[in-house]
Amino acid sequence: MVRVLAFGTFDLFHKGHESYLNQAKKLGDELIVVVALDSTVGRVKGKTPFWNEKKRLEAVSAFSAVNKAVLGKKGNVYWVLDEFKPDIIALGYDQSYFTDRLQEELGRRGMKGRIVRLQPYLPEKYKSSKINQGQHG
């Protein structure tokens, strides 16, 4: 069984997120998604998410392509590698937070997982930062 790991903020869950998760699911048999904590979103994006972590987790959990969704944890961001041992890590086209050392971290743990960068879905329309602008004024 091929296990795929994806992660993100998933604020105001939209068609771009659906495309990302559908693409990720096609890479394997099981899709596990880590939803960022509110505090992580604030640190990475410099603002509070429109939807809180509980609502974002519920939205991702309810999506049909997702086998399991969990909230991130404070501390070492690479805990997901040890806990889920992914065969494939699916990254969104615009994800950069902690991805620079991801391959190195896989190797350090003796994992042979591969990293796949997925394609955007109408990023000029379906990108959370653009949607948030509409929600916040």
Give the pLDDT confidence score for residue 133 in this predicted structure. Answer: 47
Report helix, strand or coil for 118: coil
Are 100 and 77 spatial neighbours (Cβ–Cβ below 8 Å)? no
DSSP string, 58-104: HHHHHSTT-SEEEE--SS-TTHHHHHH--SEEEE-TT--TTTTTHHH
The CA distance from 43 to 28, in Å, is 31
Which two tokens mark 34?
């880590």
What is the spatial distance between Cα 76 and Cα 121, in angstroms, rounded to a whole number? 30
CA–CA distance, 92 with 67 (Å, rounded to integer): 18
Model confidence pLDDT, tens digit, residues 100-122: 788 899 999 999 889 999 988 86
- List, in order of start, the domains of the chain with CATH numbers: 3-135 (3.40.50.620)
Convert the pLDDT of each residue in 3-51 to its tens digit: 999 999 999 999 999 999 999 999 999 999 999 999 999 888 889 999 9
